[in-house]
A = this chain, B = another copy of it.
Amino acid sequence: MIPYVNSPQNNTKVYIGIVKQLRSMIEHDGLKPGDRLPSERELSERLGVGRSSVREALRALELLGLIETRRGEGTFMRDFRGHQLVQLLSTFILQDKKSIRDVKETKFLIELDCLWLIIQKAEEDQLLRFKKWALEADYTDDDFFLKIVTLADNHLFLRIWIILKDYYNSLDLERMMVTKEQYAELIETLISRNESEVIRVYRNLRNLSKG
Contacts of A112 in B (CB 8 A): 113
Asked whether any CB of chain B lies closer than 8 Å to the CB of A197, the reply is no
Asked whether any CB of chain B lies closer than 8 Å to the CB of A131, the reply is no
Contacts of A81 in B (CB 8 A): 93-94, 96, 98-99
Cβ-neighbour of A85 out of B15, B55, B163, B211 (below 8 A)? B163
Q: Is the CB of A156 within 8 A of B106?
A: yes
Interface size on A, residues (CB 8 A): 54
Q: Is the CB of B113 within 8 A of A109?
A: yes
> Interface digits, A52-79 against B, CB 8 Å rule (1 contact, 0 not)?
1001110111111010000000000000
Once the chains are docked, how many angstroms separate the CA of A112 from the CA of B159?
A: 19
**Which residues in A have some Cβ–Cβ distance to B below 8 Å?**
15, 19, 23, 26-27, 52, 55-57, 59-64, 66, 80-83, 85-86, 88-89, 91-99, 102-103, 105-106, 109-110, 112-113, 116-117, 120, 154-157, 159-160, 163-164, 167, 211
